[in-house]
Amino acid sequence: MSVSPFRYPSTAHVRRHGPAGYSTYQQFRPWLRDEFCFRCVYCLRREVWAFQDSDFELDHDVARSIAPELCRDYTNLVYACHNCNKRKGSKRLPSVSDVAYGACMEVATSGTSVGEIHALNDDGVRLIDELSLDGEKITATRRRYIEMIRSLEKNDRPLFLVWMGFPEGLPDLLGVHPQPVSNSLPAGILQSWFAKKMRGALPEIFE
């Protein structure tokens, strides 16, 4: 398979946005959608696969119950699906900003173990165990997605691009309301997916 819908990043995440000053952490949502490429950082489920926007939530890396002062700190927020956010709860797990998840775990895309997730180190063991990423249902679902996308790649490119591409309605970070009080990384807006689309540089798919 030339592309994989479940390929974890090979490096730790480096923030490209730095908004600050919002009155509620939910106001960071458009920034985090763009920051984490419209998918759950933990299981890699994509927005384009979801039934509704509420399937995705903002997760606090360090839980509010542990560090309430970080509740509205952008660097303490990640984008997650409802299921992973609920399973994580207040647990302190290896952060996507500190470790490369691709060095911690990988999803098999060939052979008899297609869809299975395997830990590559102790951080991977913990992430998989705490988030139940190796559960029977999620493993079977990953297998179906991989097999379907593999078939679409060969036989129906337009539909393949839908399943592996970007969602409609990319957030225009210059136009979001309200705007943040400040932004420590303003140049990141020019690298947002919306900005890339406007200048004709948006990739057809992303992994």
Query: Is the pLDDT at 1 greater than 70, yes or no?
Result: no
Residue 3: predicted pLDDT = 86
Residue 2: predicted pLDDT = 72
Q: In total, how many domains does the chain have?
A: 1
Residue 5: predicted pLDDT = 96
Long-range CB contacts (within 8 A, 24+) of 130-136: 130/87, 130/88, 130/91, 130/93, 131/42, 131/43, 131/84, 131/87, 131/88, 131/93, 132/87, 133/42, 133/43, 133/105
Report if residue 4 sits inside a domain: no
- 100 Ramachandran zone, left/alpha/beta (phi>0; psi -120 to 50): beta
Give residue-wise pLDDT tens across range 157-172: 999 999 999 999 999 9
Which band of pLDDT confidence, cut at 50, 70 and 90, is reported for residue 8? very high
Report if residue 69 sits inside a domain: yes
Report if residue 76 sits inside a domain: yes
Which band of pLDDT confidence, cut at 50, 70 and 90, is reported for residue 101? very high
Residue 45: predicted pLDDT = 98
Report if residue 12 sits inside a domain: no
Extract the tokens encoding 74.
């952008």
Report if residue 6 sits inside a domain: no
Report if residue 7 sits inside a domain: no
DSSP 155-179: H-HHHHHHHHSPPSS---TTT-SSP
Region 77-85 average pLDDT: 98
Indicate the SS3 state at residue 7.
coil
* Domain range enclosing 82: 19-198
Report if residue 179 sits inside a domain: yes
Report if residue 148 sits inside a domain: yes
Region 78-100 average pLDDT: 98
